[in-house]
Amino acid sequence: ETGVTQTPRHLVMGMTNKKSLKCEQHLGHNAMYWYKQSAKKPLELMFVYNFKEQTENNSVPSRFSPECPNSSHLFLHLHTLQPEDSALYLCASSQVGSNNYGYTFGSGTRLTVV
């Protein structure tokens, strides 16, 4: 596999459930990110991991819990979500320090909280 892979592609969960989103990058990048994309809003940066260390947490509620066990994998653990958390969750990776480190995105997980 190449690029950035996200699973699952679609997820429907109740407000009392616990689920996890998975992201895997096959590009040898050293940074990974979680973004939230809601309808008619700009992409919201949630978490940044640089060399497996979390470097940013943009005031994200504690019901979202990231985990980065190694530089290739990133998880987003979800528990007791609210309906307003329904959105497209995008994972991205980049090579920080290169001349042009644009993001490579995954296909996203479309989350619906019922």
Partner 1 sequence: AQKITQTQPGMFVQEKEAVTLDCTYDTSDPSYGLFWYKQPSSGEMIFLIYQGSYDQQNATEGRYSLNFQKARKSANLVISASQLGDSAMYFCAMREANTGNQFYFGTGTSLTVIP
Which spans of this chain sit near partner 1 (rule: CB under 8 A)?
A: 31, 33, 40-43, 45, 48, 50, 55-56, 88, 90, 92, 94, 96, 99-108, 110
Spatial distance between the Cα atoms of 30 and 40, rounded to a whole number of angstroms: 30
Nearest distance, CB of residue 41 and partner 1, angstroms = 7
- The least distance separating partner 1 from the CB of residue 28, rounded to whole angstroms, comes to 17
Three-state SS letters, 34-69? EEEECCCCCCEEEEEEECCEEEEECCCCCCEEEEEE
Q: Of 75 and 103, which has the nearer Cβ to partner 1?
A: 103
Smallest gap from Cβ 8 to partner 1, in A, equals 12
Smallest gap, in angstroms, from Cβ of residue 61 to partner 1?
20
Q: Considering the complex, state which of residue 79 and residue 110 has its C-beta at the smaller distance from partner 1.
A: 110
Residue 108 in contact with residue 34, Cβ under 8 Å? no
How many CA atoms are closer than 13 Å to the CA of 84, on its beta-carbon side? 3
